[in-house]
């Protein structure tokens, strides 16, 4: 499908506002799309039903977050219950994993690495949401959701390696002279 309306570097937001494709809000919308694609990649690489179900729900939530922003809360929205769900899922995996050692070097398995890739896109989305707030109102619940999501993706990745019997590579901080 094409409309030719974007041929000169502009596009419409969900509210019909015309903006440049270099706009921070368009960056954030693109990040949501990219993150959802990486979640889809992680989903097809995941062997475990609990993580698979989480990722399927997250994909729906990401579309809802995007709609929440582009329609400025006039359509479907994310609320505190979704943040609570993410926190509950982190708690679930943290109990299984045990003691966390930072900083984990991404890798180990395709399952974990695909989740780390999604996590890093999620972190970029967080940064771009801060920039987008210069142009449009973004409710704090969106930023909170994305922040908690990056934590859950981190736990998904380390749990994946643990379930496969793969030890994490840890980067140890040392004192500088």
Answer with the residue of higher pLDDT: 78 or 110: 110
């995941």: which residue's tokens?
A: 46
Residue 89: C-alpha distances to residues 21, 50, 132, 147, 156 (Å): 35, 10, 28, 14, 10
Q: Domains for the chain: give ranges and CATH numbers.
A: 10-170 (1.20.1200.10)
Q: Calculate Rg over the CA atoms of the chain.
A: 18
Tell me the range of 62-71, 79-88, 168-177 where mean pLDDT is highest. 79-88
Instruction: Decide if 112 contacts 175 (C-beta within 8 A).
Output: no
Please check the confidence at residue 14 and state whether its pLDDT lies above 70. Answer: no
Give the number of other Cβ atoms within 10 Å of residue 62's Cβ. Answer: 23
pLDDT at 177: 58
Please, which contacts does 143-147 make with residues 24 or more away whose CB atoms are closer than 8 Å? 144/83, 145/61, 145/65, 145/78, 145/82, 145/83, 145/86, 146/65, 146/122
pTM: 0.90
pLDDT at 103: 87
What whole-number distance in Å separates Cα of residue 56 and Cα of residue 77? 18
Please check the confidence at residue 44 and state whether its pLDDT lies above 90. Answer: yes
């Amino acid at each position: 499908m094409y409309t030719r309306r974007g041929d000169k570097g502009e596009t419409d937001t969900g509210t019909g506002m015309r903006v440049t494709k270099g706009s921070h809000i368009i960056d954030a919308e693109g990040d949501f799309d990219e993150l959802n694609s990486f979640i889809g990649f992680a989903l097809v690489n995941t062997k475990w039903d609990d993580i698979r179900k989480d990722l399927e729900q997250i994909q729906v939530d990401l579309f809802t977050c995007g709609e929440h922003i582009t329609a400025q809360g006039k359509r479907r929205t994310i609320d505190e219950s979704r943040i609570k769900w993410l926190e509950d899922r982190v708690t679930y995996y943290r109990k299984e994993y045990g003691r966390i050692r930072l900083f984990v070097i991404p890798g180990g398995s395709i399952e974990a690495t695909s989740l780390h890739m999604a996590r890093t896109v999620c972190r970029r989305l967080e940064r771009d949401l801060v920039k987008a707030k210069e142009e449009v109102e973004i409710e704090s619940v969106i930023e909170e959701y994305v922040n908690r999501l990056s934590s859950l993706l981190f736990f998904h990745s380390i749990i994946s390696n643990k379930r496969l019997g793969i030890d994490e590579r840890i980067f140890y901080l040392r004192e500088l002279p």
